[in-house]
């Protein structure tokens, strides 16, 4: 039976916005095991950046807290969970609406969830007021499919 490639990583950092670049680059580096093309990698980086920004500026409202990222690779799919123990989202449906933002004064565009949803295959939001928010995003890396037979060949060698 063919063995499915699996891998996992966890990351925790404090909620400083200067960590956004660190977070998306770390996840992208992990995701590159799936051999994504540049566009897929950019999609993943952007979605992670949006989720982490939400945790920092909405979840913790720039107060100090911990942002956690948990990544799982199974076959050619990556699952990325971004969670915080911040204030939670009052109305998830509304937060997902394009252009809806609770912080227009900070020049937030309200496009975070729209971008996550269009760059990833699937996005789930679990949020409890006063407890925190967890975003779960999934993406199948398609460029892997074409190179898979090549990898098997290398294993046989």
Partner 1 sequence: METKFYKKDKLLVLKITEEIDEFKVQEIRRRADYEIERYMPKKVVFDFNNVSFMDSAGIGLIIGRYKFASMLGGKLEIANLTKSVERIFEMSGILKLIPVTQI
Q: Please say if 54 is a catalytic residue.
A: yes
Q: Please say if 105 is a catalytic residue.
A: no
Q: Of the residues 20, 24, 40, 50, which is catalytic?
A: 50
CA-nearest of 125, 134, 131, 124 to 87 is: 131
Residues contacting residue 3 through CB under 8 Å, at least 6 positions apart: none
Cβ–Cβ < 8 Å for 5, 77: no
Q: How far is the CB of 119 from partner 1 (least distance, A)?
A: 9
37 vs 50: CA distance, rounded Å: 20
Q: How far is the CB of 18 from partner 1 (least distance, A)?
A: 5
Going across the sheet that includes 66-74, the strands are 6-14, 66-74, 77-84, 132-140, 122-128
Q: Where along the sequence are the contacts to partner 1 (CB under 8 A)?
A: 17-18, 20-21, 24, 39, 42, 45-46, 49-50, 53, 56-57, 98-99, 106-109, 111-112, 114-115, 118
The owner of tokens 């966890």 is: 10
Q: How far is the CB of 12 from partner 1 (least distance, A)?
A: 18
Q: Please say if 24 is a catalytic residue.
A: no
Q: Of the residues 108, 126, 138, 148, which is catalytic?
A: 108
Residue closer to partner 1 (CB basis): 25 or 128: 25
Catalytic residues: 50, 54, 108
């Amino acid at each position: 039976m063919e063995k499915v490639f699996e891998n996992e990583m966890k990351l925790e950092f404090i909620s400083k916005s200067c960590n956004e670049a660190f977070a998306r680059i770390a996840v992208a580096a992990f995701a590159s095991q799936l051999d994504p093309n540049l566009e897929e990698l950019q999609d993943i980086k952007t979605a992670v950046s949006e989720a982490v920004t939400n945790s920092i500026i909405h979840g913790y409202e720039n107060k100090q807290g911990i942002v956690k990222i948990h990544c799982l690779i199974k076959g050619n799919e990556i699952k990325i969970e971004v969670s915080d123990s911040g204030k939670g989202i009052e109305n998830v449906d509304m937060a997902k609406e394009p252009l809806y933002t609770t912080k227009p004064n900070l020049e937030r565009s309200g496009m975070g969830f729209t971008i996550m949803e269009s760059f990833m295959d699937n996005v789930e939001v679990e949020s409890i007021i006063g407890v925190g928010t967890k975003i779960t995003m999934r993406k199948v890396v398609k460029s892997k499919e074409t190179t898979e037979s090549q990898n098997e060949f290398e294993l046989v060698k």
